[in-house]
Structure 1
Amino acid sequence: MAEYNYEDYNSSYESSREEHQQFLQFKKVFLPCTYLVVFIGGLVGNSLVLVISIFYHRLQSLTDVFLVNLPLADLVFVCTLPFWAYAGIREWVFGKAMCKTLLGIYTINFYTSMLILTCITVDRFTAVVKATKAYNQQAKRMTWGKVTSLLIWVISLLVSLPQIIYGNVFNLDKLICGYHNEEISTVVLATQMTLGFFLPLLAMIVCYSVIIKTLLHARGFQKHRSLKIIFLVMAVFLVTQTPFNLVKLIRSTQWEYDAMTSFQYAIVVTEAIAYLRACLNPVLYAFVSLKFRKNFWKLVKDIGCLPYLGVSHQWKSSEDNSKTCSASHNVEATSIFQL
């Protein structure tokens, strides 16, 4: 009996070691590759949104204010990913000061991005449900938008301080950058779950529910398109953010899962999916706008990437369609169109 248990233990131990080695190889390839893909996609998409918002939109509305801050936060966020990719392939070689700096930058921009998404949701709610009031108070809303954006960056810095202060380089088989403090980890997780998931999710559920109800009673050619955009925004947020946050929540309550190789796979894969938001945000929050797409073609024409005539014909067609469909001076329809 003792001999049987001993052999079974050895067999199980060898099997676990083999599975763990396979996981380390998978992580060594999968995570850096994902980081680089998100880095390239996020760099291109968010840079385009930032350039168009600053030089073509020129901050004419509250939406434009948020569409400067969102890609800026995502852009700085993705610029930290090559460092984490290299550290995943080899080890952390950038030193303690760089570790604290990149942890801080990464965290600040994560919170900023999520809080700006929340503000965009509330802004859409105001523009559709309280269209007349929003139109009449546009200048005031612009001021509040700029103040809110500044407060978001300050709040993000403050809630990121624990990771900046306690961030360090540890030797665990290889050098890694992180923070290993149970109390700090609990505080960080609670803050991430609250500001980075539950708050945006609650804002989306409440605001978009009322917006959908308003749209269903509205008239206009843009109603069905606006509903599709809302459902797409909700679906992308839930698909990309829910799995990773759920896995983190499970790990915080059941630490024994950390020893399971299958659970480690879940952490790595869901983290990679969560980071895709940095690539998808430009599409969901900028390129769905006709005005933004027209300015994009203007940018393409200005830098000489496409023949002038081909682009101008597309502008002409888009403008004619827009004028034909927007003949009504209905403020509500205009607000729906901005979704």
Structure 2
Amino acid sequence: MESQSFTGDANEDLYMLSTPDYFIDTGSYCEKSSVRKFAAYVLPPIYWSVFFLGLFGNGLIVIVYLTYKRLKTMTDTYLINLAIADILFLMTLPFWAISASHEWIFYTIPCKIVNSMYTITVYSGMLLLACISVDRYIAIVQATKAQRYRTRSIILSKLVSLSVWIFAVVLSLPEILFSTVKEGLSFKFCTMSYPIEVSKTLKVIVIALKVTMAFCMPLLVMIFSYALIIPTLIHARSFQKHKALKVIFAILSVFVLSQLPYNSILIVRVLDAANTTVSDCATSQNIDIAYKITQSIAFIHCCLNPFIYVFVGVKFRSDLFKFFSKFSCISESKSSARLKPNIRAKLPSEILETKMGTLSL
């Protein structure tokens, strides 16, 4: 199809479950069937894979915490809240998969719930990652003060977690208010429909908040916190410091690699919405495809959270082994015997692992 000039729809959904065609002032339109065909073939397998893998990993975290653990540290509180946020986010993926394969076959209320739950869990999840990094800084760099206020810290972590959820709900008010179902030429889609008189401004604010609060701010907090933690670990005498450093680099690398491409596309959309940039139809199609691909990559982060934050912990692995032993022929005594050598090997660095949080569960 020959490229033709058009202006993007100001009411385009930031988290669009279907890709609508764009009408041009002249009466012609930018046809997006190729983008929808791409999404129908590529996205559902990704969404369903992320759904089952993420549900398995985060579900194990919640089960093991409830079965064997109490919330003993601030990081414990943040991690259980992070797992819950990831699970709630995963609950939206079946809707995305079905919509990508066909169209939005549900009603307006499910559209509002899916869009708002998505944004609430994205905001809360990213902010909780920032909270975890700050807590690790306090526990490692400010270890003396952290031990002194250990009892109060549990209460504080619960208040912080509650504040994060409330803040995430407030940031998601546009999705709660303006999500609706629209009908295209031959299909229905769940989208954001802003009031015409403020559509451009609201769209810029919504996307800018998403980039700032769900990526830039958490990333800066994580970099700052871990940059202060690394010198302390380097000067530590424990032989486990190298493992702790690897965990830190894994956390930052996974976060950047999974979230940077997606947020880069969002920044392009912010600039386009702010300047009402006129682009050709082919460019718009490419941006839509890039948006869907990078968004899918960003989704994978919730599957990796259990592995980089929890499953590397010696204590958590011990509890996990006990949990699975209940459903096998392995007796409790045998499972304990198998774990003893590993636990004894870690004892010299137990304090460091406790401070690291991700190595202490």
TM-score, normalized by the shorter chain, greater than 0.5: yes
Q: CA deviation at 1:290?
A: 0.8
Evaluate the alpha carbon distance shift between residue 28 and residue 267 of structure 1 in structure 2; reply closer, same or farther with a 3 A threshold: same
Describe the superposition over 1:177-217 as per-residue Cα deviations: whole angstroms up to 9, x where unpaired.
11033333222111111110011100111001111111112
- Would you say 1:264 and 2:288 are equivalent positions? yes
- Would you say 1:307 and 2:324 are equivalent positions? no
Residue 160 of structure 1 is matched in structure 2 by 172
TM-score, with structure 2 as normaliser: 0.83
Evaluate the alpha carbon distance shift between residue 93 and residue 333 of structure 1 in structure 2; reply closer, same or farther with a 3 A threshold: closer
Letter in 2 for 1:281: N
Are 2:122 and 2:214, in contact at CA under 8 Å, matched by a contact in 1? yes
Describe the superposition over 1:106-139 as per-residue Cα deviations: whole angstroms up to 9, x where unpaired.
1111111111111001011111101121122111
Residue 189 of structure 2 is matched in structure 1 by 176
Evaluate the alpha carbon distance shift between residue 12 and residue 122 of structure 1 in structure 2; reply closer, same or farther with a 3 A threshold: closer
- Would you say 1:245 and 2:258 are equivalent positions? no
Aligned-partner Cα distance in 2 for 1:306–1:59: 30
Residue number among 156, 176, 183 corresponding to 1:144 in the alignment: 156
Are 1:258 and 1:264, in contact at CA under 8 Å, matched by a contact in 2? no
Residue 122 of structure 2 is matched in structure 1 by 110
Are 1:220 and 1:333, in contact at CA under 8 Å, matched by a contact in 2? no
Are 1:50 and 1:67, in contact at CA under 8 Å, matched by a contact in 2? no
Are 2:36 and 2:100, in contact at CA under 8 Å, matched by a contact in 1? no
Are 2:75 and 2:357, in contact at CA under 8 Å, matched by a contact in 1? no
Letter in 1 for 2:182: F
- Segment of structure 1 superposing worse, 256-265 or 128-137: 256-265
Are 1:128 and 1:214, in contact at CA under 8 Å, matched by a contact in 2? yes
- Would you say 1:33 and 2:45 are equivalent positions? yes
Aligned-partner Cα distance in 2 for 1:246–1:148: 29
Residue 287 of structure 1 is matched in structure 2 by 311
Residue 214 of structure 1 is matched in structure 2 by 232
SS in 2 for 1:176: strand
- Would you say 1:277 and 2:301 are equivalent positions? yes
Residue 335 of structure 1 is matched in structure 2 by 355
Are 1:251 and 1:257, in contact at CA under 8 Å, matched by a contact in 2? no
Mark the runs of 5 or more structure 2 residues left unpaired by the alignment: 5-28, 195-199
Aligned-partner Cα distance in 1 for 2:213–2:328: 40
- Segment of structure 1 superposing worse, 23-32 or 308-317: 308-317
Aligned-partner Cα distance in 1 for 2:355–2:3: 62
Evaluate the alpha carbon distance shift between residue 306 and residue 60 of structure 1 in structure 2; reply closer, same or farther with a 3 A threshold: farther
Q: CA deviation at 1:333?
A: 6.5
Residue 20 of structure 2 is matched in structure 1 by none
Letter in 2 for 1:249: I
Evaluate the alpha carbon distance shift between residue 89 and residue 310 of structure 1 in structure 2; reply closer, same or farther with a 3 A threshold: farther
Letter in 2 for 1:274: A
Aligned-partner Cα distance in 2 for 1:100–1:22: 27
Residue 345 of structure 2 is matched in structure 1 by 321
- Segment of structure 1 superposing worse, 170-179 or 229-238: 170-179
- Would you say 1:101 and 2:121 are equivalent positions? no
Q: CA deviation at 1:105?
A: 1.4
Letter in 2 for 1:314: R
Aligned-partner Cα distance in 1 for 2:146–2:317: 24
SS in 2 for 1:93: coil
How many residue pairs match? The answer is 322
Letter in 2 for 1:234: L
RMSD, matched Cα: 2.3
Letter in 1 for 2:78: F
Report which of the two has the higher share of helix. Answer: 1
Letter in 2 for 1:253: L
Q: CA deviation at 1:310?
A: 5.9
Aligned-partner Cα distance in 1 for 2:358–2:109: 44
Q: CA deviation at 1:96?
A: 0.7
Residue number among 228, 231, 234 corresponding to 2:249 in the alignment: 231
Residue 65 of structure 1 is matched in structure 2 by 77
Describe the superposition over 1:194-245 as per-residue Cα deviations: whole angstroms up to 9, x where unpaired.
1100111001110011111111122111111011000000000000000000
Are 1:46 and 1:71, in contact at CA under 8 Å, matched by a contact in 2? yes
Residue 120 of structure 1 is matched in structure 2 by 132
Residue number among 305, 317, 320 corresponding to 1:296 in the alignment: 320
- Would you say 1:45 and 2:69 are equivalent positions? no
TM-score, with structure 1 as normaliser: 0.89
SS in 1 for 2:172: helix
Letter in 2 for 1:28: A
Are 2:112 and 2:179, in contact at CA under 8 Å, matched by a contact in 1? yes
Are 1:104 and 1:164, in contact at CA under 8 Å, matched by a contact in 2? yes
Q: CA deviation at 1:307?
A: 2.4
